[in-house]
Amino acid sequence: MMSLRPYFVVLLLILNAFVMGSSPARAEDAEEPVAESAWTWENPFPQGNALNDIWTEGSNAFTAVGEGGALVRFDEGLTQAYAPGIRNEILAVWGVRKDSVYAVGTGGTILHFDGETWNLMESPVTDYDLTGVWGADDEDIFAVGRSSSQDKFQGVILRYDGTSWQEMFVDLEDFELSGVWGKSGDDVWAVGFHYGAQTLSGIILHYDGSEWRISSRATYPPLYDINGNIHGLAYAVGSDGAVLRLEESGWTVMNYTSSELDDLSWSELRTVSVAGDGSMAVVDVWQNRVLSCVADVCRWIEAPSDLRDIRAVSGTETLNLTVAGEEGKTYRFESESWVPLTYSRTRTTLNDVHGSDGENVYAVGEEGTILHYDGVTWFSMRSGVEEALNGVWASPWSAVFAAGEKGRVLIRLGDRWIPMATGTDADLNAVGGSIEIAEHGVYAVGDGGVVIHFDGSAWSRIPLEEEANLNDLWVTREGMVYVVGDGGLILRYRNSQWSYMESGTDQDLNVVVGRRPGLWSQVPVAAGKGGKVLFYDGISWVDISPGESLDFRAILSNYRDDIFVVSAEGVTYRYDGNSWTRGVAPIAEGILSGWGRPLGDSVIVGQSGAILRFSDQAPSAPAVKLYTDKESYSLSDTVVVSVAVENRGPAVFGSLYVYLRTPASIEDISYLSSAGWRDSSVPLFDPIFIPSGYSLQAELFTIQLPISFPRVNQPGTYRLGIGFFSREDRQPIGETSVTLFEVVE
DSSP 335-354: TTEEEESSB-S--SPEEEEE
Pick from 576, 200, 601: nearest CA to 373: 601
Q: What is the pLDDT of residue 297?
A: 87
Averaged over 38-49, what is the pLDDT? Answer: 90
Helices (H) and strands (E) in the chain, counts: 1, 66
Which of 650 and 620 is assigned the larger pLDDT?
650
pLDDT confidence tier of residue 617, bands split at 50, 70 and 90: low
Given this model, what pLDDT does residue 518 score?
Answer: 55
Q: Span 49-67, mean pLDDT? A: 92
What was the pLDDT predicted at 3? 42
CB 348 within 8 A of CB 605: no
* Dist. CA 62–CA 314, nearest whole Å: 9
Nearest-angstrom CA–CA distance, 333 and 316: 9
CA distance 103 to 110: 6
Pairing verdict, β 632-634 and 732-744: parallel
Using CA atoms, how far apart are residues 700 and 741, in angstroms rounded to an integer? Answer: 16
Average pLDDT across the chain, whole number: 88
Average pLDDT of the segment spanning 38-43: 88
* Alpha-helical segments (H) within 75-221: none
pLDDT at 206: 96
The pLDDT of residue 5 is above 80: no
Residue 21 has pLDDT above 50, yes or no: no
Where is mean pLDDT largest: 403-407, 557-561, 650-654, 715-719?
Answer: 403-407
* pLDDT band (50, 70, 90) for residue 35: very low
pLDDT of residue 553: 98
Look up residue 499 and give its amino acid.
Answer: S
Strands of the 451-454 sheet, one edge to the other:
428-433, 442-446, 451-454, 459-461
Q: Which positions ≥6 away from 560 have C-beta within 8 Å?
A: 515, 516, 517, 518, 577
Residue 590 has a CB neighbour count (10 Å cut-off) of 19
Q: What are phi and psi of 537, to 5 degrees?
A: -95, 10
User: Between these two residues, 383 and 666, which has the higher pLDDT value?
Assistant: 383
Asked if the model's pLDDT at residue 431 lies above 70, the reply is: yes
Q: Is the pLDDT of residue 36 over 80?
A: no
Residue type, 247: E
- The predicted pLDDT at position 688 comes to 82
Task: Round the CA-based radius of gyration of the chain to a whole number and report it.
Answer: 29
Burial of 602 (0-12, 13-18, 19+ CB in 10 A): buried
Which of the given ranges, 495-499, 508-512, 712-716, has the highest pLDDT on average? 508-512
Does an H or E element contain 506, and which? none
DSSP-derived secondary structure letter, 714: S
Question: Helix, strand, coil shares of the chain as percentages rounded to 5?
Answer: 5, 55, 40
> In terms of C-beta distances under 8 Å and separation of at least 24 residues, what long-range contacts does 285-293 make, across chains too?
285/309, 285/310, 285/311, 290/321, 290/323, 291/243, 291/261, 291/267, 292/316, 292/317, 292/321, 293/256
**pLDDT of res. 30:** 34
pLDDT(22) > 70:
no
Give the least confident one: 200-204, 396-400, 433-437, 717-721. Answer: 433-437
Report the 10 Å Cβ neighbour count for 462: 14
pLDDT of 4 above 80: no
**Cα separation of 278 and 245, whole Å?**
11
Confidence at residue 597, expressed as pLDDT on a 0 to 100 scale: 73
Burial of 168 (0-12, 13-18, 19+ CB in 10 A): middle
Quick check: 527 pLDDT over 90?
yes
Average pLDDT of the segment spanning 172-200: 92
Share of the chain above pLDDT 70, in %: 90
* DSSP helix/strand/coil, 327: helix
Least confident segment among 250-264, 602-616, 723-737: 250-264
Residue 55, pLDDT > 70, answer yes
Residues whose CB falls within 8 Å of the CB of residue 555, separated by 6 or more in sequence, listed in order: 511, 512, 513, 525, 526, 527, 533, 563, 564, 565, 566, 594
**Across 400-421, average pLDDT:** 94
- Residue 232, helix vs strand vs coil: coil
Q: What does the pLDDT read at residue 738?
A: 93
Query: Measured in whole angstroms, how far is the alpha carbon of residue 89 from the centre of its chain?
Result: 16
Q: How confident is the model at residue 377 (pLDDT cuts 50, 70, 90)?
A: confident
Confidence of residue 599 (pLDDT cuts 50, 70, 90): low
d(CA 397, CA 576): 31
Q: Which is higher by pLDDT, 597 or 343?
A: 343
Averaged pLDDT for residues 71-82: 86
pLDDT of residue 83: 83
Q: Mean pLDDT, to the nearest integer, of 436-449?
A: 87
When pLDDT is averaged across residues 706-716 and rounded to a whole number, the result is: 91
Point out which residues pair with 369 in neighbouring strands: none
User: Interior CA angle at 272 toward 270 and 275, to 5°?
Assistant: 175
Would you place residue 20 in the very low, low, confident or very high pLDDT band (cuts 50, 70, 90)? very low
**Are 239 and 203 in contact, with CB atoms under 8 Å apart?**
no
Beta strands in 486-637 (DSSP E): 490-494, 497-500, 509-515, 523-528, 533-536, 541-543, 552-559, 562-567, 571-575, 580-584, 591-596, 602-606, 611-615, 623-628, 632-634
Instruction: Determine the pLDDT at residue 220.
Output: 78
Distance CA 191, CA 175 (A): 10
The pLDDT score that the predictor gives to residue 440 is 72
Is residue 696 classed as helix, strand or coil in its secondary structure? Answer: strand
Indicate the DSSP class of residue 577. Answer: S
- Say whether 596 sits in a helix, a strand or coil: strand
What pLDDT is stored for residue 262 in this prediction? Answer: 64
Q: Which residue, 742, 117, 722, is CA-closest to 377? A: 722
pLDDT at 219: 64
